Structure 1
Amino acid sequence: MAAELSADASAPDRLDGLTSWRADWSGLRVAVLGLGVTGFAVADTLTELGADVLVLAPAPDEDRARILDVIGARLLTHPLDAVPDELVAFDPEVLVASPGFHPDHPVLEWAADTAVPVWGDIELAWRVRDKVHPAEWILVTGTNGKTTTVQLTATFLAENGLRAAPCGNIGVPVLDAVRDPSGFDVLVVELSSYQLHHLPTTGPGAIHPLAAVCLNLADDHLDWHGSLEAYAAAKGKVYENAKVACVFNRADEATRRMVEDAEVEEGARAIGFGLDVPGPSDFGVVEGILCDRAFLDDRRTTALEITTVAELDERGLAAPHVVQNILAASALARAAGVPVGIIHDALQRFRLDAHRIETVALAGGIRWIDDSKATNPHAAEASLRAFGTVVWIVGGLLKGVDADALVAAHVGRLRAAIVIGRDREALVAAFRRHAPELPLFEVTADDTETVMPEAVALAAAVAEEGDTVLLAPAAASMDQFADYADRGRRFHEAVRAMLGGEADGDGPAPHGTGEAGD
């Protein structure tokens, strides 16, 4: 009954006024769901603001738990398979949920039933963005390519003399960037669909970004959202209230529809990007030249040259999906006033992160590529298209996504397939259905220490000169590895242990030989 009474009282009015670091947050009762990196940043921020904070976590990190006690937050360790009595007694005025908790989690359903407002960390960060001085926000989402696009955009901004911070789902909580004492001019925020799910599009918690992009949309996280429609609706929130530019993928109609449906500020423009010839107000490629036809006066008849595919190829950046990311990031940076010359020069020094189409070794004419970051079929498809004949190491947690279409589309380029991970059965069935003659190997070991050595040994036995052995799992990693980076590192270790001194060296993958398009 207590929670119902608070919902009927003045709590909503108070929350409406909490739109500044300097607002009165003292004594606000806040429940924080989760104690990962995000949950801890939320609790740390709120206790600094003077709120009364109760953190709920099923199995908290011991170091973070100790620090909570020091900063003055309380921790309730609970399996959270039901609503804890302590939460009901606490009578929270607002609940801040970490992004990993499903919408049908018992605590979130309880909050909905008792009219307790639910925020995400992104809404909280927007409300307190003025601690040092309020930076402009640029938002990036999409099924794939988010992190690379965020890093590219932040690099372009920094090269232009702006203090820019890549943050959000990239690994640095937005709240940490907001509270950085040096302050920033621009935050380039990677947003997952989980974070967007809780983000309001109107009212005091709604973000008004300088520019935003949804890079692409494909089946992913359907086990979390429940349907592709719900997943798309969450992604589409990224464009709401944009001030300057809504950047969309011309090859992905879903992103165009998101822009058409978004409520934006007057003057905001729709800017398309793609690998084809750009129209006015677009970014694209003309005879191997990446062009801006959006941010110039005479965009009807002329274009600005950003760089060339040949130059990108020298840097290992010419895979079609990487070129798309560069075009999207260029559009976002241009919306913030960065000259094309600055973007060109920054690309000369940019390098992809580890485990993103990274060449591990070249030996005996066989190239070993780590794209462990390809954690869903859409990302794996982009990776497969960048190479010729492939020995494909695939598998893991499919997250409710059907990989049948991916297998069917690419069996023609495969020398062999090596299936790893927990969800092997569906993949094995797809290969047998679409390519019954294809050499198919199944790594049945569940021991983290042996999965990659076995997969690499099998690949080495079937790969031929001119082939690429490609780790592009099309699946999440947490069934057998700590994360995609751990999976990639173990692939590196297994390849180098198997090759010994045979490797010719490593470096960027030569992407110019793959199929055009993405």
Structure 2
Amino acid sequence: MSMANRQQQLLAARRSATAIIGMGKTGQSVANYLLHRGISCEAFDEHAVELPASMQIQLHIGQLDADTLSQFERIIVSPGISWNHAALAAAREHGVPVHGDLELFEEHYQGDLIAITGTNGKTTTVSLIDTMLDTLAGGIEAGGNIGMPMLDLIADGDEPQRVVLELSSFQLERANPIHPRWAALLNVQPDHADMHENSDAYKAAKLRLFAGQGDGDKAMLPANGEWNALADDLRGRGVYVRRFGIGDSQELDAGVQQNDDGSWAVFWHHYEVAEFVTSSELPLQGQHQHLNLAVAAQAAADFGVSASVIRQSLTSFRGLPHRMQSLGLVAGREWFDDSKATNPDAARAALSAFHHVIWICGGLRKGLDVSVLKDAVTNHVEQMFIIGNDPKPYAELAYTAGVPASFVKTMDQAVKQAAHAQAGLPVLLSPAAASQDQFRDYVERGRVYAAEVKALEPKP
């Protein structure tokens, strides 16, 4: 067969094939899903990757080529690949559909979909919904940004009755409007400035969560006025809109309420009756975390989970690793791991959970402005220890907030010096930054922190 004929055959095969861009965890999940269904596909990655031996797929390593990608019937892009990559933009201009794995999931899943998005708090909320709804007949599976890639949940054809998905802005912008039966927006804070065109594009990606909802669906929105227009639009489509926040249980569906005696309580509504759990009963600390619990409780109630099961779940839920996780009492003080706080708003919420705290911060800022933390630092931070390769903005923050700060660069030095800070005060790692300047990810950063804290314990 001549070279020209082979080229023609290749082009003909690609017209009915899928190109998968990025062969990490999500890309491999997409490949497995397509191959299991006999759908022809090829894999592309700009970095050297090694696929499982069992995955029989052609792999192209190197710079993405627009002409090559434009030969395919469709393109599925992993979340870590920029949506504005020149090769992808050119393929879209050629009329090739470009989507993410959420598009495939929505095309094939027929059960009840619960979807959660927001800048902060998604994983905690999804984990608790998963725990509570698993008590129902038929159970539930969790996926998306949490745990298992979403396509793995339906890969074997045994479709779960319910699925709860943690969805990022990247996943939402790469799919046609999905149709969740129950959807929640937790918050929208400045983040991912390096991956979205601007803050408006980031917000618009988040709000795509609700674009496909209609009559009989439920949507949970923050109570502040910024979301009133969206609430009105959803109600006009027949969506039952719930609101949550800090306020009165007679006015909000779920949230955190201050009692007459000054104490606080998490509340939600079971049918029309408000249910309460006092904050002192909750192992998880921080008002921002308690709002996540309230949202999860309302989701569970809306799907028929009993108030007693919800209450037991809330009072036994100790949180997730690296999210305001207590490491216990070591060297005369309590230590908290909030390594997941990769942006200023997450760190501000964590700092506000303390009266006074020793703060370990710093890392890869992703272009975010840490000066917005001034009031939180002034009111809650006794001393700062700055790590990472970009200390100047944190040092300037400390100066304007009137808080003493030391640039210690590395985690081991931060922990050692924090152990000798003002006696008895807790220590909080809540970096307000990503981790990749010094660590693989926030998980490794949290593990290193925990190991350094453990090393302070006296040797037997």
- TM-score when normalising by structure 2: 0.90
Q: Give the SS at the match of 1:332.
A: helix
Kindly provide the amino acid, as one letter, of the partner of residue 109 in structure 1: A
The match for 2:62 is 78
- Between the aligned partners of 1:263 and 1:354, the Cα distance in structure 2 is 37
When residues 116 and 84 of structure 1 are mapped into structure 2, their CA distance, relative to the original with a 3 A threshold, is closer
How many residues get paired?
442
Deviation readout 1:82-138 (Å, 9 max, x if unpaired): x265435xx111111111112221221112221111111001111122xxxx32110
The match for 1:118 is 98
- Between the aligned partners of 1:387 and 1:338, the Cα distance in structure 2 is 33
Q: How does 1:36-185 map to 2 (within 5 A)?
A: 36-64=24-52, 66-69=53-56, 73-80=57-64, 83=65, 86-88=68-70, 91-129=71-109, 134-180=110-156, 182-185=158-161
Relative contact order, CA 8 A, sep 6+: which one is greater? Answer: 1
Kindly provide the amino acid, as one letter, of the partner of residue 68 in structure 1: M
* Preserved contact between residue 215 and residue 255 of structure 1 (Cα < 8 Å): no
Q: How does 1:330-369 map to 2 (within 5 A)?
A: 330-369=297-336
When residues 417 and 180 of structure 1 are mapped into structure 2, their CA distance, relative to the original with a 3 A threshold, is farther
When residues 344 and 439 of structure 1 are mapped into structure 2, their CA distance, relative to the original with a 3 A threshold, is same
The match for 1:493 is 451
Q: From 230, 237, 259, give the equivalent of 2:231.
A: 259
Q: Give the SS at the match of 1:333.
A: helix
Q: How does 1:404-423 map to 2 (within 5 A)?
A: 404-423=371-390
The match for 1:471 is 429
Q: From 243, 251, 254, give the equivalent of 1:272.
A: 243
- Between the aligned partners of 1:27 and 1:49, the Cα distance in structure 2 is 17
The match for 1:307 is 277
* Preserved contact between residue 143 and residue 220 of structure 1 (Cα < 8 Å): yes
The match for 2:174 is 198
Using the TM superposition, give the Cα deviation of residue 492 of structure 1 relative to its aligned residue in structure 2, in angstroms: 0.8
Kindly provide the amino acid, as one letter, of the partner of residue 140 in structure 1: I
- Between the aligned partners of 1:197 and 1:264, the Cα distance in structure 2 is 24
Using the TM superposition, give the Cα deviation of residue 172 of structure 1 relative to its aligned residue in structure 2, in angstroms: 1.3
* Preserved contact between residue 216 and residue 255 of structure 1 (Cα < 8 Å): no
Kindly provide the amino acid, as one letter, of the partner of residue 311 in structure 1: E
- Between the aligned partners of 2:136 and 2:384, the Cα distance in structure 1 is 45
- Between the aligned partners of 2:227 and 2:186, the Cα distance in structure 1 is 7
Return 5+ residue gaps in structure 2 as ranges. 1-11
- Between the aligned partners of 1:253 and 1:457, the Cα distance in structure 2 is 45
- Between the aligned partners of 1:456 and 1:256, the Cα distance in structure 2 is 44
Kindly provide the amino acid, as one letter, of the partner of residue 283 in structure 1: A
The match for 2:5 is none
- Between the aligned partners of 2:120 and 2:153, the Cα distance in structure 1 is 23
Deviation readout 1:7-65 (Å, 9 max, x if unpaired): xxxx9xxxxxxxxxxxxx9983111110011111111111222222111102243144x
Kindly provide the amino acid, as one letter, of the partner of residue 382 in structure 1: A
The match for 1:235 is 206
The match for 1:394 is 361
Kindly provide the amino acid, as one letter, of the partner of residue 438 in structure 2: Q
When residues 138 and 380 of structure 1 are mapped into structure 2, their CA distance, relative to the original with a 3 A threshold, is same
- Between the aligned partners of 2:147 and 2:236, the Cα distance in structure 1 is 28
Kindly provide the amino acid, as one letter, of the partner of residue 168 in structure 1: G
* Preserved contact between residue 390 and residue 416 of structure 1 (Cα < 8 Å): yes
* Preserved contact between residue 365 and residue 434 of structure 2 (Cα < 8 Å): yes
The match for 1:18 is none
When residues 351 and 49 of structure 1 are mapped into structure 2, their CA distance, relative to the original with a 3 A threshold, is same
- Between the aligned partners of 1:318 and 1:434, the Cα distance in structure 2 is 24
The match for 2:3 is none
When residues 221 and 407 of structure 1 are mapped into structure 2, their CA distance, relative to the original with a 3 A threshold, is same
The match for 2:8 is none
Kindly provide the amino acid, as one letter, of the partner of residue 222 in structure 1: A
Using the TM superposition, give the Cα deviation of residue 199 of structure 1 relative to its aligned residue in structure 2, in angstroms: 2.0
Question: Is 2:220 the counterpart of 1:247?
Answer: yes
The match for 1:439 is 404
- Between the aligned partners of 1:350 and 1:433, the Cα distance in structure 2 is 37
Using the TM superposition, give the Cα deviation of residue 409 of structure 1 relative to its aligned residue in structure 2, in angstroms: 3.3
Kindly provide the amino acid, as one letter, of the partner of residue 123 in structure 2: T
Query: Higher mean Cα deviation, 480-489 or 159-168?
Result: 159-168
- Between the aligned partners of 1:245 and 1:473, the Cα distance in structure 2 is 35
The match for 1:5 is none
- TM-score when normalising by structure 1: 0.80
- Between the aligned partners of 1:259 and 1:198, the Cα distance in structure 2 is 24
Q: Give the SS at the match of 2:42.
A: strand
The match for 2:253 is 282
Deviation readout 1:443-496 (Å, 9 max, x if unpaired): 34xxxxxx21111112123x2223111100011112211111110110011111
Question: Is 2:165 the counterpart of 1:189?
Answer: yes
Query: Higher mean Cα deviation, 390-399 or 239-248?
Result: 239-248
